[in-house]
Amino acid sequence: MEYRQISTKGAEKIGEGAHGEVYRIAEDTIVKVYRPTVSMEAIRREKQLARWAFVKGLPTAISFDIVRVGELYGVVYEMLDAHSVSDYIKESDANFERFVSKSVELMNQIHAVEVMPGELSDMKEKTIGWIKKLEKYLPSDACDKLMKLTEKVPASHTLLHADFHLKNILITGDELMLIDMDTLCAGDPIFELATLYNSYMEFPSISPMAAEFLGIDVETANRIWERTIKLYTEYTGEDEKEITRKAQILGCIRILDYADRQPELPDRDLIIKICTEDILKNL
């Protein structure tokens, strides 16, 4: 099949995730350019998930056609005047507070969506599968405790973004818009918070480059987590320290699975060492 060829030369990069980069190519148009390792099947699936999320009422871009960008593939979306959140929060403390407040509202909006059984993958089931592979890194009694902790997480058909950090959120006007829908799944919101903890606390504790990837420094990343969890627990009435403990444990399980599948990952041994230490400390 022939795909329309477009160029991102001179275009502003406004987002970046594990699977690609997002460019604004017109006032009302963005394109997500996928890395060469991403299959066409995965690209089509994310395009479909983005449309599914839009139909569910989530603030996200409308997906259009698949295009070629040089030797790579991309998906074009309609999104009016989209900008980088990392640039926005650097402008003032007021913008920082506004972003955190709105991101908690957005997270709660996502979690208000009910997913039909079997419609999306289940994060609890995924996590149980990851734990089964961790005995090479953790004592068996620790793995038993992790399994019990995860099994106690309530079964849930709540929608999760599962990669909810500021590189996967854009700002249009004064509103936040979601991108990168390939991680959508179902489960208890604690798994969403585990993703946030990884992005703003765990990865930056391993390397400052993790915060730089988000377009911020480590201090700002930590501040985003601290303000987010404070506002979130004020809304839900849950205990902040206990939620943070569980989020770190579940987040580290996910990181260990990722590191286990990436033998060429830079600092892999350090990542495994710190995450196993953090799990044991919290257990």
Q: Two tokens at 274?
A: 């710190």
Q: Give the angle 109-52-195 at the CA atoms, nearest 5°.
A: 50
Q: Residue 154 and residue 186: Cα distance in Å, rounded?
A: 12
Question: What does the pLDDT read at residue 117?
Answer: 92
Can you tell me the mean pLDDT for 101-108?
97
Residue 18 has pLDDT above 80, yes or no: no
Q: Are residues 64 and 181 in the same domain?
A: no
Query: Over the stretch 249-261, which tens digit does the pLDDT of each residue have?
Result: 999 999 999 999 9
Q: Are residues 216 and 103 in the same domain?
A: yes
Give the pTM: 0.93
Radius of gyration in angstroms for the set of CA atoms belonging to the chain, rounded to a whole number: 19
Q: Are residues 73 and 103 in the same domain?
A: no
76-80, 84-88, 140-144: the lowest-pLDDT one: 76-80
Can you tell me the mean pLDDT for 127-150?
96
Question: What does the pLDDT read at residue 238?
Answer: 94
Task: Show which of 64, 80, 96 is a domain's final residue.
Answer: 80
Contact 17, 168 (CB under 8 A): yes
CATH number, position 138: 3.90.1200.10
Distance of CA 215 to the CA centre of its chain: 15
pLDDT exceeding 70 applies to what percent of the chain? 100
Q: How confident is the model at residue 197 (pLDDT cuts 50, 70, 90)?
A: very high
Q: Residue 45 and residue 182: Cα distance in Å, rounded?
A: 7
Residue 56 has pLDDT above 90, yes or no: yes
Question: What does the pLDDT read at residue 16?
Answer: 83
Question: What does the pLDDT read at residue 248?
Answer: 98
Question: What does the pLDDT read at residue 54?
Answer: 92
Per DSSP, the three-state class of 263 is coil
The chain-wide mean pLDDT, for the chain, equals 94
Q: Residue 18 and residue 179: Cα distance in Å, rounded?
A: 12
Per DSSP, the three-state class of 11 is coil
Task: Show which of 48, 80, 112 is a domain's final residue.
Answer: 80
Return the closest-CA partner of residue 167 out of 158, 177, 159.
177
Q: What are phi and psi of 27, to 5 degrees?
A: -60, -35
- Per the structure, the complete domain to which residue 43 belongs is given by 4-80
Q: Are residues 27 and 167 in the same domain?
A: no
Can you tell me the mean pLDDT for 15-44?
91
Question: What does the pLDDT read at residue 76?
Answer: 94
CATH number, position 62: 3.30.200.20
Q: Are residues 95 and 60 in the same domain?
A: no
Q: Residue 251 and residue 201: Cα distance in Å, rounded?
A: 10
Q: Are residues 75 and 91 in the same domain?
A: no
Q: Residue 196 and residue 110: Cα distance in Å, rounded?
A: 14
Can you tell me the mean pLDDT for 235-242?
94
